[in-house]
Amino acid sequence: MSELHPDTIAVHAGREGLDELGVHALPIDLSSTNPLPDIERGGDSYEALTGGRRPPEAGSNVYGRLWNPTVARFEDALAALEGADEAVAFASGMAAMTAALLALCAATGKRHVVGVRPLYGGTDALLAGDLLGIERTFCAVDAVAPAIRDDTGLVVMETPANPTLDLVDIAAVVAQAGDVPVLVDNTFATPVLQNPLAHGARLALHSATKYIGGHGDVIAGAIACDADTAIALRRVRTATGSVLHPLAGYLLHRGLTTLPVRMRAQQQNAQRIAAALRQHPAVARVYYPDADTTGILGTQLRGPGAMVSIALRGGFDAAERFTSALRIFTHAVSLGGVDSLVQHPAAISHRHVAPEARPGADVVRLSIGLEDADDLVADLAAALG
């Protein structure tokens, strides 16, 4: 499918073999266990799946914790959109991040990780904590090379970054990392606007809860990567039980079909909103990468996306009044759905980030949805007033 336009891939990827099944809509396999053809082939299937392999042709899926065909269809579709060999889905974005750290650091003995700040608060807190027995070095984007050690197993970065929308040159980080694999959190951009593997990254991670699901009704994570890394990730997923439920896999696969259309429409609204907010006297700064001067926008990143953050004059008190006064925007965590959300990162999503890396108390993050742009601008203006 690589020769097709991404819009076409989004609609058709992962649908192979539906004609043979005699169906048009994607099937949902909710089986928690599966019949075994016989002891020997059942054992062979179990051995293959627990080792991170895909199901053998003449075997069995054995057990829902090991493999599910509905989830596999979503994984194949996401891999096609990301230009990856494979993708591996998990029960949440943090489960996906944890699996990457276990597979590439804990399991290899290279227990040091370089984290390029700013990062999503949950990722930052996971790296900073002692839960996984790893060591970490946080650094700025231009200090990755000196942070690399002999026991570094992974470099973790995010672009556009949460919540300040910082843009990072993926290829430049990959060059600094040398032989160390680079993981890029691609949640804000989605495969529609950015494909990290095309710029040298080993892994592209998504909190699929966000734009990929797109409707606020599913929690999931996924990593697109090469085949060998996928085997290592599936081995961790099997051992830890961080499997994605089949119904969630179905909802995510359905969400992918409209992802390009949703992303472009939400981005168009965000551009309109960013322009209006830049003119408002209550707004000290707008964080939105439509005026990027680094050359990343238009090359690595195909569009500025649909996330907008603002710093308000008046600090935390102004932020509190603003979030409480909005009527169309829902005050809630998460992002990327069809409805617009507002959140104060320092108080919630980035609460456990070290003070020196935490967003300011004056910063508010907006996830722009599919509502009418005039209505959204009016709601923001009224709340700011």
Q: How many CB atoms lie within 10 A of CB 19?
A: 9
pLDDT (tens digit per residue) in 118-156: 999 999 999 999 999 999 999 999 999 999 999 999 999
Q: How many residues does the chain have?
A: 385
Whole-angstrom Cα Rg for the chain: 21
As to burial, measured by CB atoms within 10 angstroms (0-12 exposed, 13-18 middle, 19+ buried), residue 7 is middle
pLDDT (tens digit per residue) in 8-58: 999 999 999 999 999 999 999 999 999 999 999 999 999 999 999 998 876
Q: Residue 228 has which token pair?
A: 């060998």
User: What is the model's pTM?
Assistant: 0.97
With a cut of 90, say whether residue 226 has pLDDT above it.
yes
Q: End-to-end alpha-carbon separation of the chain, Å? A: 50
The residue ranking higher by pLDDT, 98 or 57, is 98
Which pLDDT does position 58 carry in this prediction?
Answer: 65
Whole-number percent of the chain with pLDDT over 70: 100
As to burial, measured by CB atoms within 10 angstroms (0-12 exposed, 13-18 middle, 19+ buried), residue 215 is middle
Torsion of CA 375, 378, 383, 385, to 10 degrees: -170
pLDDT (tens digit per residue) in 287-316: 999 988 899 999 999 999 999 999 999 999
The set of catalytic residues is 65, 120, 185, 210
Helix, strand, or coil (residue 10): helix
Helix, strand, or coil (residue 334): coil
Torsion of CA 274, 278, 282, 284, to 10 degrees: 100
Please answer whether residues 164 and 118 qualify as being in contact, where contact means their C-beta atoms are separated by less than 8 angstroms: yes
Q: Residue 113 has which token pair?
A: 């990780």
Domain 260-384 has CATH 3.90.1200.10: no
Residue 287 and residue 164: Cα distance in Å, rounded?
Answer: 6
Q: pLDDT band for 215, please (50, 70, 90 cuts).
A: very high
Cis omega (within 30 of 0) for bond into 191? no
Which pLDDT does position 135 carry in this prediction?
Answer: 97
Domain ranges in the chain are: 6-256, 260-384
Which pLDDT does position 3 carry in this prediction?
Answer: 85
Q: Across all residues in the chain, what is the average pLDDT?
A: 96
Pick 6-256's CATH classification: 3.40.720.10, 2.60.40.1510, 3.30.930.10, 3.40.640.10.
3.40.640.10
